[in-house]
């Protein structure tokens, strides 16, 4: 997606050869018109996939997930990463290991917001190692629902997440695919200039 790649190029900060900071439009300040265009792309790619719900994880996935839900006319739910005072009985949980933080955490969603028979589009802001993505897929499977695919805003293609998801049989649609982060610059896989 050209505008997204342009934003990454112009405003992204390459913190290391592993980490891209996008706090001006995605991970802290959030650009609503960009999110709305991102959602158009996801809608276009998944409009015939019979999606009945969007699932994401707090916090970075919520903005693109919300806009995509609005585009597709379906409900959106986000998995929580911390214990909630009000979310206790009737929940589904999965363990997620973070390579960045080197710790395992539990992600949770209420059963009533993820039900058997649903076709779920999982949206997230970043795909790196795929741990969060697989955790979300486990929630869907435990609910007796089906993963229709993954919609990823920024995929770090030099990390293994995408390939692991493909190997597991999932559909993955990423709007920006970063080939490498080097010398302060991001380069993209298959950059399309449209
Ligand atoms: P994984 O789920 O793909 O295995 O990723 P990992 O554990 O490495 O990533 C943990 C967190 O870091 C996730 O956010 C993920 O979105 C984010 N992340 C991974 N790589 C990058 C990157 O290059 N840049 C930025 N900005 N974020 C990255 P989180 O901390 O769980 O959630 P939140 O920040 O959305 O609240
Ligand atoms: Na995230
Ligand atoms: Na994040």
Phi, psi of 128 (to 5 degrees): -120, -90
ipTM of the complex: 0.92
Please tell me whether 183 is known to bind a ligand.
no
> Under 8 Å CB-to-CB from 37, ≥6 apart: which residues?
1, 3, 4
User: Would the CB of 69 count as within 6 Å of ligand 1?
Assistant: no
Nearest CA to ligand 1 atom 7: 98
25 lines ligand 1 (CB under 6 A): no
The answer on pLDDT for 193 being more than 60 is no
Count other C-beta atoms under 10 Å from residue 158's C-beta. Answer: 16
Scanning the structure block, which residue is given the tokens 């802001």? 125
The verdict on whether residue 137 carries a ligand-binding annotation is no
Computed over every residue of the chain, the mean pLDDT equals 95
Instruction: Give the residue from 168, 190, 164, 165 showing the smallest Cα distance to 177.
Output: 190
Band of residue 192 on the pLDDT scale cut at 50, 70, 90: low
- Whole-prediction pTM: 0.95
Q: What is the pLDDT of residue 88?
A: 72
Instruction: Say yes or no to pLDDT of 194 above 60.
Output: no
Q: What would the mean pLDDT of 40-51 be, rounded to a whole number?
A: 98
Residue 138 in contact with residue 94, Cβ under 8 Å? Answer: yes
Beta strand spans in 43-90 (E): 53-57, 76-79
Helices (H) and strands (E) counted in the chain, each on its own, are 5, 10
pLDDT at residue 83, rounded to an integer: 75
> Which ligand 1 atom is the nearest neighbour of the CA of 132?
2
Overall average pLDDT of the 44-57 stretch:
98
pLDDT in tens, 71-116: 999 999 999 998 777 767 899 999 999 988 899 999 999 999 999 9
Tokens of 104: 């395992």
What are the respective helix, strand and coil percentages of the chain, to the nearest 5? 30, 35, 35
The tally of CA atoms less than 13 A away on the side-chain side of residue 78 is 19
Whether residue 48 is predicted with pLDDT greater than 60 in this model: the reply is yes
- Tokens 């929940």 found at: 91
> Would you say the CB of residue 168 lies under 6 angstroms from ligand 1?
no
> Atom 28, ligand 1: which residue's CA is nearest?
126
pLDDT in tens, 139-191: 999 999 999 999 999 999 999 999 999 999 999 999 999 999 999 999 999 87
The pLDDT value given to residue 190: 80
């Amino acid at each position: 997606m050209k505008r997204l790649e342009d934003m990454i190029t112009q405003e992204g900060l390459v913190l290391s050869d592993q980490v891209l900071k996008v706090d001006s439009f995605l991970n802290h300040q959030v650009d609503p018109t960009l999110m709305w265009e991102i959602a158009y792309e996801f809608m276009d790619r998944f409009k015939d996939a019979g999606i009945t719900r969007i699932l994401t994880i707090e916090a970075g996935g919520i903005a693109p997930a919300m806009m995509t839900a609005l585009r597709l006319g379906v409900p959106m739910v986000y998995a929580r990463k911390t214990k909630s005072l009000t979310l206790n009985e009737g929940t589904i949980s999965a363990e997620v290991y973070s390579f960045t933080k080197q710790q395992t955490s539990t992600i949770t969603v209420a059963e009533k917001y993820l039900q058997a028979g649903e076709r779920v589009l999982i949206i997230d802001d970043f795909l790196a190692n795929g741990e969060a993505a697989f955790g979300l897929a486990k929630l869907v499977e435990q609910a007796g629902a089906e993963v229709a695919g993954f919609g990823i805003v920024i995929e770090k293609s030099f990390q293994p997440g995408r390939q692991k998801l493909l190997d597991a049989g999932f559909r993955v649609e990423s709007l920006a695919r970063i080939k490498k982060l080097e010398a302060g610059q991001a380069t993209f896989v298959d950059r399309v200039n449209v």
